[in-house]
Structure 1
Amino acid sequence: MKIFQVGKFPRERPGGIETAVFSLAKQLALRHQVEVAVSATGGVGKTFSWEGVACHQLPTWFSIFSTPVSPSLIGALRRASGFDVLQISYQNPMAALAYWIARPAGRLVIWYHHDIVRQVWLGRLLEPLLSHLLKKADAIVSTSRAYAGSSIILRKFADKVRVIPLGIELSPFEDDKEIRTSEIVRRRYGSPLILFIGRLVYYKGLDYLIEAMQGLKANLLVIGSGPLESRLRAGAQTRGVGPQVHFLEVPFDEPLARYLHACDLLVLPSVERTEAFGLVLLEAMACGKPVITTEIGTGTSFVCSDGVTGLIIPPQDAPALRRALQKLLSNPVLARKMGEAGQNRVRQFFSAEVMAESFLELYRSLLGFHAQRV
């Protein structure tokens, strides 16, 4: 089978969508011909092989509203007409435009990661173009039933929607070296240690976690970067928790597993539907850690099973978050039990292998190998 994926950014750019796109491509390439096209963040394009995947980083002319403009994607899609499956990540207007112009052959699968949430007017402007892409799709993949059922856009195409949860590669989180290195991290940042990993942007809700640290005898390690970093640092000082909150930017090639193994628990306090799944929850659970996240009508409350693998709280509620933190930090037996349950859940339902097999079943059904729906 020949599969052509269109993402948005290269693998080196931090983000759950990028991780998912390349994890899937790597698994599919074990048995099939796979190519991936994305926009180069540095502007200059290149083509190379990675883990058996032909990667095309296309030149970026400029970016507008976080969308890279790469006109050469049109040509790439025309050349992909001989592929069996074309899979496009929906949150890329350039890909929608390129597909409309190129009109390549092959079954079209749209990987729908999240709605356009904050830039409502931009969503309305792009609606005709993006709706055309969804109408042309042979299948639309949502990462959770919760998101598929709560998205106004996806409800319009319910007959095409298939649910395939994201998956992660488990081996990086089972590395003995990373487990040993975690002791160094724990000594450096103290214990108990609460962990946040993600971009420092509005929808992550990190300011509520910083507020929740007031009165807790614990440290918070924040791994990530973004436009809100200065404001968040100032907020930690203003709330009197500056000495407890540590900000760290980890290079792309440095494993995160050591930090996940070092922590007592991970928190993802997101406040908007832009957080469609919460891949970092899976990564923490793979390391046997309990998690705390919010109910925002997306996949976060599907990944975390409330009271089993962690705790789910209302968004934008620092007192509720503080109570959840106190519950887990004061009850290590409960925390360990939740961590073990989460690790089992990831291995059973959320591995990259399980994700890839689900996509392959979908592709086969579209190509006539099977009639079974995913």
Structure 2
Amino acid sequence: MKILIVLTYYTPYMSGVTEFARMLAEDLAHRHEVTVLTTQHDVALPVEETLNGVRVVRAPVFARMHKGVLSWKFITWFRQLAKQHDVVNLHMPMLESGVLAMLVPRRKLVVNYQCDMAVVGGLLDRLAVNVTRISCWLATRRARDVGVLTHDYASSSAWLSGIRDKQHEVLAPMKAMPWSEVQAPTDDVFRFGFVGRFVVEKGLPVLLDAFAQVHAQHGDRVRLVLVGDTHNIAGGGIMDAIHGSIAALGDAVEVRGRVSEQELQAFYADLDVLVLPSVNRYEAFGMVQLEAMLSGARVIASNLPGVRTIVQNTGNGEVVPIGDAVALAGAMQRLMASQGVLSRAGVREQALRAYPLRRFFDLQEAMLLNSARDAQAR
């Protein structure tokens, strides 16, 4: 099969949507001919290249709007590529999704609805978000099939109401994290961690407030390690806004920024608890939760639709109220007190029981190929 995957940002940009599409594309490339159409969000990137068996085509950008970019060639190249492929897979949110959906026959159109958009800025941001919301709504109505991360998230979305009959829960891809029985550090420091872009929706101010409360009681026995892109983030980052809170905690907080895959694996192996304190619907699943669990770390997650399901389905941690630093600090204290109740191997085993490694890939490929076979039959 020839599969066209379309999204605004692709690797080396880092986000949940990007990683979702990258892991899917690279897995499918072992069995199918896969092309990714994206934008040239960084002019230093080549217009076309092959990455891990995937043909990547990047359309030049002429303007930026909120988290999105504008590119005429993105639309014209899409029209050409869509004709050459058996199935077209749009990954949203994407500003152009409604227009693109009209340029491809419904029978071979599959969309992955990653998350609702939240308004976090001023008038221009509100305009961009609302235009994108409507565009995505149109694409989901036209698509033959719609992949959602969880039914929990989809059922809470006003933008997905009325199309439950064509929704497929596909979850998110999992990395086969390396495992060793001897992983955790031998010192007495309890390590909390965060992985993600330093943006408003990730709730870093809430995490820093909660950690300050825990640190006030435990001092050098606790540490917080922050991993992820700190600057040059689509839509803007918050590193400057939280710098003072980080500095006030001194050596108790370490900011590592963006790290390599090997460094990320080492980070997880040292971690006791991953905290995902997200505060709005841009966070719909949280793949990092499963990465941490597969390395033996427990998780504290916000009580957001979709996000909460990983802890709920595995039992590996706690779910806390959204944006509540006091409640988060309490959960951090409880997981410190219950250290050792469940081994790291036990955490990994419970995660794999609820989320087998190949489950996402099998569900997603089945959805894509069903659409492609139907298109060919016609």
Structure 1 residue 221, shift from structure 2 partner: 0.8
1:24-72, Cα deviation, whole Å (9 max, x unpaired) = 1111111111111111221354212222211112222221111122222
Partner of 1:22: 22
Partner of 1:167: 173
The question of whether the paired residues in 2 share the 8 Å contact of 1:194 and 1:265 is answered with yes
1:219 matched to 2:228: no
Structure 1 residue 143, shift from structure 2 partner: 0.2
Partner of 2:241: 231
Structure 1 residue 364, shift from structure 2 partner: 3.4
The question of whether the paired residues in 2 share the 8 Å contact of 1:86 and 1:106 is answered with no
Q: CA RMSD in A?
A: 2.6
Specify whether residues 267 and 142 from structure 1 end up closer, same or farther in structure 2 by C-alpha distance, changes over 3 A only: same
Partner of 1:31: 31
Partner of 2:318: 311
Partner of 1:372: none
1:68-124, Cα deviation, whole Å (9 max, x unpaired) = 222222233223213121000121113443443x44676111110111111554343
Structure 1 residue 348, shift from structure 2 partner: 4.2
1:148-200, Cα deviation, whole Å (9 max, x unpaired) = 11000111322221111002221xx2066xx87x85xx88xx82111111111
1:90 matched to 2:98: no
Specify whether residues 342 and 333 from structure 1 end up closer, same or farther in structure 2 by C-alpha distance, changes over 3 A only: closer
1:124 matched to 2:126: no
Partner of 1:364: 369
- Amino acid of the structure 2 residue aligned with 1:24: L
- Residue in structure 2 matching 1:155, options 156, 161, 165: 161
Q: Normalising by structure 1, report the TM-score.
A: 0.86
Partner of 2:206: 208
Write the distance in 1 (CA, Å) between the matches of 2:277 and 2:164: 29
* Number of residue-to-residue matches in the alignment: 355
- Amino acid of the structure 2 residue aligned with 1:72: K
Write the distance in 2 (CA, Å) between the matches of 1:257 and 1:242: 25
Q: Normalising by structure 2, report the TM-score.
A: 0.86
Write the distance in 2 (CA, Å) between the matches of 1:279 and 1:205: 16
Write the distance in 1 (CA, Å) between the matches of 2:301 and 2:337: 18
> Unmatched 5+ residue regions in structure 2?
120-124, 232-236
Structure 1 residue 145, shift from structure 2 partner: 1.1
Residues 344-363 of structure 1 mapped to structure 2, 5 A cutoff: 344-350=349-355, 353-363=358-368
Specify whether residues 122 and 324 from structure 1 end up closer, same or farther in structure 2 by C-alpha distance, changes over 3 A only: same
Identical residues among aligned pairs (%): 22
SS of 1:305's equivalent in the other structure is helix
Write the distance in 2 (CA, Å) between the matches of 1:12 and 1:113: 19
Write the distance in 2 (CA, Å) between the matches of 1:353 and 1:57: 29
Specify whether residues 305 and 253 from structure 1 end up closer, same or farther in structure 2 by C-alpha distance, changes over 3 A only: closer
Specify whether residues 106 and 53 from structure 1 end up closer, same or farther in structure 2 by C-alpha distance, changes over 3 A only: farther
Specify whether residues 146 and 216 from structure 1 end up closer, same or farther in structure 2 by C-alpha distance, changes over 3 A only: farther
